[in-house]
A and B are shown apart, each in its own frame.
Chain A
């Protein structure tokens, strides 16, 4: 089955810096890669996703890149703000709408 590895497990940055979180996956049939932000005790919130027919997607300060050949994808957050502090999870699935396999999560701390 699918296995998703995520690094780093914790990331501390200064406000205004960029943050990068990387994930690798094992199932070459995976085609959908969402990123979620989860605050303590809350549900995961989708922040951006990418499908395998696209190499990069951007939404304001957030971007995701995908390298299908290498089976890895990354989340890039620019101009970080304290409110970006949360746990971020990458995930993979065969297609949007099917079961998600999550990475272990990255705790991002943005200090002002």
Chain B
């Protein structure tokens, strides 16, 4: 199946610093990617939709100036957590829908990256 990678897998940073997380689709092109945040023992919460060639679409309550998203190419989206604080500590996961098979639906399932564990001290 399609593969989505994320880097780094875990990062520890000091409060006030910025952290960049990369999401790559390795064997397919993704004009759209999605960023989710998951707190311990909680569900995945959609943060934003990353669109190649245009601005990201943020969900209500997500600060676009704090969580900067750049869809640099058809295989790469980045999420930058700016001026990170301890409450930003979480598991950040991206996903990308792979194009469907010929004759089927336009898109097949969504493939998730392995996630990035962010800890802000």
Q: Which of A41, A42, A51, A96 is the most central at the interface, judged by chain B CB atoms within 10 Å of its CB?
A: A96
Complex Cα–Cα for A45 and B95 (A):
11
Bin the interface of chain A by size: 20 to 34
Distance to closest chain A CB from B104 (angstroms): 10
Q: Which of A41, A44, A46, A101 contacts B46, CB < 8 Å?
A: A101
A-B interface contact total, Cβ < 8 Å: 62
Contact B113 A43 (CB under 8 A): yes
Chain A proximity mask over B18-46: 1 for CB below 8 Å, otherwise 0: 00000000000000101000000011111
Contact B97 A97 (CB under 8 A): yes
Given A43-B93, A43-B115, the answer on whether A97 and B44 have CB atoms closer than 8 Å is no
Contact A102 B110 (CB under 8 A): no
B113 contact set on A, CB distance < 8 A: 43
Identify 13 new A-B residue pairs, CB closer than 8 A, beyond the known A43-B112, A97-B100. A34-B110, A41-B91, A41-B115, A49-B109, A51-B105, A89-B43, A95-B107, A96-B97, A96-B105, A96-B106, A97-B107, A103-B43, A104-B43
